[in-house]
Structure formats: structure tokens, C-alpha cells
């Protein structure tokens, strides 16, 4: 698919939105890439985000996968629009072990009200990437309330 930004401030809007999410700070997540219909977010695997076996908690893969899909969706929306996840499914396919997780979100179908987006989450160790989770869900465009 061949998407374009519909608003020149789309990257700034995403950066600002990301910075306002306390959860992303708590998870030490960073937005690495924002392109039309695509977003990449990373987070280190630390004890603070572990589950009972020392791997990253499903909540970490979900949080950055959902955010990557959401910012990918918002990147195609017009000025003044914010994005809400209405529903999201995640498959956890392998233990999330390694140095960090990287989530790559992309848009499958961009509509006026609803967007279908997916994200793939990989565990990185050195040069190796293993697919640990896949997300698929629905985003809704809503008027940005500024706060």
C-alpha cells in the first residue's frame, strides 16, 4: 500500500501525543520511526516489565504494539484528529526474551472513521530478531481535545 500524510504536522502530532503518554515513559518506550501508515516503537526488556519467568510481560508487547498500530493509524488522519483503539487482538507466539522489544505497526485499511491496523513485535538480541507477537485491531478517529 502506498500511503501519504494528509497533514504536514503529522510527525509533530505523533511525537507530542507520544510524549504525553505517561505509560510510554514508565515502560521506557521510544518512538523510533513514523512514516505514512507506519510506526516503530521500542522498549528495553527490564525486570520492571517482566512476568513470572523473567521474560517481558505480555502487557509490554501489547502496550508498544497497540501504540505502534495506533500512531500508524493516526499518521493518515487529517489535522485535529486523535486516535482511539476500539479493540485489539494479540497473539503471543514465543517467549519475549532478549535485550529489547521492537513493535512495527502498519495500516491495512484506512477509512474515514475506522482504521484496521496490525503490529508485529520482535525480540532483539544482538543482530537477531525473533517474532514474538502479532496484533490486529481497530482504531477510531476522534476529535483531538487538546488535552
80 binds a copy of itself (CB under 8 A): no
134 binds a copy of itself (CB under 8 A): yes
Tell me which H or E stretch contains 34.
strand 29-35
Q: 73 in helix, strand or coil?
A: helix
**Nearest Cα to Cα of residue 122 among 145, 92, 142:** 92
Q: How far are the Cα atoms of 11, 18, 70 from residue 32, in angstroms, in the given order?
A: 11, 11, 14
45 φ/ψ angles, rounded to the nearest 5 degrees = -85, 110
Query: In angstroms, what is the minimal distance from the CB of 125 to a copy of itself?
Result: 18
State the Cα–Cα distance between residues 60 and 39, nearest whole angstrom: 16
DSSP 14: H
Residue nearer to a copy of itself on the CB measure, 79 or 114: 114
Site for a copy of itself in 14-43 (CB under 8 A): 17-18, 20-23, 25-27
Q: How many residues does the chain have?
A: 147
Q: Which of 31, 39, 60, 73 binds a copy of itself (CB under 8 A)?
A: 60
128 binds a copy of itself (CB under 8 A): no
Query: In angstroms, what is the minimal distance from the CB of 68 to a copy of itself?
Result: 12
Residues near a copy of itself (CB under 8 A) are 17-18, 20-23, 25-27, 46-54, 57-60, 62-63, 66-67, 82, 84-94, 108-109, 113-114, 116, 131, 134, 136, 138, 140, 145, 147
Amino acid at each position: 500500500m502506498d500511503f501519504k500524510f494528509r497533514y504536514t504536522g503529522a510527525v509533530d502530532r505523533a511525537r507530542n501525543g507520544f510524549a504525553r503518554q505517561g505509560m510510554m515513559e514508565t515502560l521506557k518506550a521510544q518512538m523510533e520511526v513514523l512514516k505514512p501508515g507506519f510506526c516503530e516503537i521500542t522498549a528495553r526488556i527490564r525486570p520492571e516489565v517482566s512476568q513470572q519467568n523473567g521474560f517481558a510481560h505480555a502487557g509490554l508487547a501489547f502496550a508498544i504494539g497497540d501504540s505502534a498500530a495506533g500512531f500508524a493509524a493516526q499518521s493518515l488522519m487529517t489535522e485535529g484528529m486523535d486516535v482511539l483503539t476500539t479493540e485489539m487482538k494479540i497473539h503471543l507466539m514465543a517467549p519475549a526474551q532478549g535485550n529489547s522489544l521492537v513493535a512495527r505497526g502498519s495500516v491495512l485499511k484506512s477509512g474515514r472513521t475506522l482504521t484496521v491496523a496490525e503490529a508485529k513485535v520482535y525480540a532483539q538480541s544482538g543482530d537477531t530478531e525473533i517474532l514474538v507477537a502479532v496484533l490486529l485491531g481497530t482504531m477510531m478517529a476522534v476529535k483531538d481535545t487538546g488535552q
